[in-house]
Amino acid sequence: MTPRVVLIGPPGAGKTSIGRALAKSLDVDFADTDTLIEIDQGKSVSQIFVDEGEAHFRKVEERICIEALKNVGGVLSLGGGAVLTSGVAEALRMADTKVIFLDVSLAVAAPRIGFNRDRPLLLSNPRQKWQTLMDARRPIYESLAATKIEVEDRSVNEIVGEILSKAGI
């Protein structure tokens, strides 16, 4: 079983809230890989970064994402950096699923994520770090996605409607 839809994009794009709403509209299950990682590890993503470091987190993330791509039906939301791992990128390319890139600008993402301590990669000059991460990740998101949706300051319902229309779901 593979997900009908996989959402990718940067922190603050709304992958979780849009994913939940999309799953509800399709009457399917929803899963978020960050939540699956937290359940697997018994601690928050930020605590994993603090205790074990990014390299450990990425290994766990790769395993969880690949498992989810094989076992989760419905809608799956991947963490923003999951696509950086070659195993996850390859699994996405091989999966029979619709990959949707939720694109968002720094101006819209900033108030959503607040650049707080729960975003370990964004500590110290968070706006610059977010932009640097996005500049590096954008080509990867675009290469993996069948459809790109501009999120900006639109409502969740508007975005879900566009996904359903553009992705032919």
CATH topology for 5-164 is: Rossmann fold (3.40.50)
Identity of the amino acid at 14: G
Percent of the chain with pLDDT over 70: 85
Instruction: Please give the structure tokens belonging to residue 35.
Output: 């939540």
* Statement: residue 122 has pLDDT above 50: no
Instruction: Write down the mean pLDDT value for the chain.
Output: 86
What pLDDT, on the 0 to 100 scale, is given for residue 124?
Answer: 58
DSSP string over 20-42: HHHHHHHT--EEEHHHHHHHHHT
Whole-prediction pTM: 0.88
Q: How far apart are CA 102 and CA 151, in angstroms?
A: 6
Sorting pLDDT into bands at 50, 70 and 90, what band is 107?
Answer: low
Calculate mean pLDDT across residues 108-124: 53
Asked if 169 contacts 4 with a C-beta cutoff of 8 angstroms, the reply is yes
Asked if 6 contacts 98 with a C-beta cutoff of 8 angstroms, the reply is yes
Long-range contacts of 39-44 (CB under 8 A, 24+ apart): 40/64, 44/118
What confidence tens digit (pLDDT) does each residue in 70-98 have?
999 899 999 989 998 999 999 999 988 99
* Statement: residue 164 has pLDDT above 50: yes
> Which ranges constitute the DSSP H helices of the chain?
15-26, 33-41, 45-52, 54-71, 86-94, 106-113, 126-144, 156-166
* Statement: residue 62 has pLDDT above 90: yes
What confidence tens digit (pLDDT) does each residue in 3-51 have?
799 999 988 888 999 999 999 999 999 999 999 999 999 999 888 988 9
